[in-house]
């Protein structure tokens, strides 16, 4: 039997104030329960996010990796304010259990990456699907350090992809070959040619159906991005952002396949 912890009990605090994400940090964004068929309701952020970041149905919970004391007294954006010392947002009980399970104490980042990889495992989501509808996720700790390290490395890739920091995103194969007004009118998909049209002439090319339909939270990311900009002219920055996000999602799907190979062993432990 694997040791399991509810995400709620990993940490000292859920999000308590903006100071935690105005300095160098990373936060896990999770729903306590959700509506729908499948679980897609987990993401990562390094900024103060909207309460409807994952869905408009009900609010999300934010778990910062590090906690910063609120000593700036209303001067959170003042560059002159010294950066306060941070503390990791894990309980001593959880850290002790992790150390005993692995025989060593991993870094806070390694723990976050491991949790993130597990939460992106299709097998995990299916196995715990009914439980995820009613409470915070429960994450198993492997007894094997190698498994932990492998999943942590894959989780790091996912985090870098989702924060658009991954070095592979500096170039993208998603094409934008036709110039025009750049105005979003009617969004439609040409599956045969893998094109996402947003007006009669213009389209993004090289977008697979799996990428187009990929969900984070309650939203199909690529479709929602364009629909939210209907009747607007896309800027060059928005066009480039769409292309990078499409590649990030394509790579996410690939990394999830690698997570499955490792998590399958953990799940049978």
Q: What is the pLDDT along the chain (269 residues), one digit of tens a residue?
A: 234 454 544 554 455 556 677 778 888 888 776 666 777 788 898 887 766 655 555 667 888 898 887 765 555 555 445 566 888 888 888 888 889 889 999 999 999 999 999 999 999 888 887 888 888 888 888 768 999 999 999 999 999 999 999 999 999 999 999 999 999 999 999 999 999 999 999 999 999 999 999 998 878 999 999 999 999 999 999 999 999 999 999 999 999 999 999 987 555 44
Are 23 and 146 part of one and the same domain? yes
Chain mean pLDDT for the chain = 84
Per-residue buried b or exposed e for 89-111, using 16+ beta carbons within 10 Å of the residue's own CB: bbeeebbeebeebbeeebebbbb
- Beta bridge pairs of residue 196: 189, 204
Considering the domain architecture, whether residues 112 and 198 belong to the same structural domain is answered as no
Are 54 and 149 contained in the same domain?
yes
Phi, psi for residue 146 in degrees, rounded to 5: -65, -40
Radius of gyration of the chain (CA): 20
Whether residue 149 is found in the same domain as residue 184? no
Q: Are residues 9 and 123 in the same domain?
A: yes
Same domain for 156 and 105, yes or no, is yes
Same domain, yes or no: 42 and 142: yes
Task: Say whether both 261 and 196 belong to one domain.
Answer: no
Q: Are residues 14 and 131 in the same domain?
A: yes
Domain co-membership, 18 together with 59: yes
Q: Distance between CA atoms of 217 and 268, rounded to whole angstroms? A: 27
**Pair 100, 205 in one domain:** no
Task: Give the number of C-alpha atoms closer than 13 A to the C-alpha of residue 67, restricted to the C-beta side.
Answer: 15
Range of the domain at 7: 3-168+253-267
**One domain for residues 65 and 126:** yes
Q: What is the pLDDT of residues 222-242, one digit of tens each?
A: 999 999 999 999 999 999 999
For position 31, what pLDDT does the model report?
Answer: 76
Structure confidence at residue 18 (pLDDT) = 62
Task: State the pLDDT at residue 57.
Answer: 56
User: Structural domain tally of the chain?
Assistant: 2
């Amino acid at each position: 039997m694997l040791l399991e912890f509810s995400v709620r009990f990993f940490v000292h605090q859920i999000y308590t104030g903006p100071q935690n994400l105005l300095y160098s940090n990373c936060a896990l964004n999770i729903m306590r329960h959700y509506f729908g068929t499948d679980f897609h309701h987990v993401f990562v952020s390094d900024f103060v996010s909207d309460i409807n970041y994952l869905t408009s149905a009900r609010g999300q919970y934010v778990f910062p990796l590090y906690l910063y004391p609120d000593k700036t007294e209303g001067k959170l954006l003042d560059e002159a304010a010294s950066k306060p010392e941070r503390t990791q947002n894990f309980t001593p009980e959880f850290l002790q259990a992790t150390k005993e399970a692995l025989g060593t104490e991993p870094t806070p980042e390694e723990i976050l990456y491991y949790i993130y990889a597990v939460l992106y495992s299709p097998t995990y989501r299916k196995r715990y699907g009914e439980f995820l509808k009613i409470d915070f996720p429960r994450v198993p700790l492997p007894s094997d350090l190698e498994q932990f390290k492998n999943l942590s490395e894959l989780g790091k890739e996912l985090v870098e992809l989702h924060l658009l920091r991954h070095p592979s995103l500096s170039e993208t194969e998603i094409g934008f070959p036709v110039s025009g007004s750049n105005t979003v009118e009617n969004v439609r998909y040409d599956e045969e040619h893998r094109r996402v049209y947003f007006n009669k002439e213009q389209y993004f090319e090289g977008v697979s159906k799996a990428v187009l339909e990929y969900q984070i939270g309650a939203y199909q990311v690529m479709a929602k991005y364009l629909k939210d900009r209907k009747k607007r002219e896309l800027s060059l920055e928005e066009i480039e952002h769409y292309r990078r996000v499409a590649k990030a999602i394509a790579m996410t799907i690939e990394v999830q396949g690698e997570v499955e190979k490792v998590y399958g062993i953990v799940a049978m432990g």
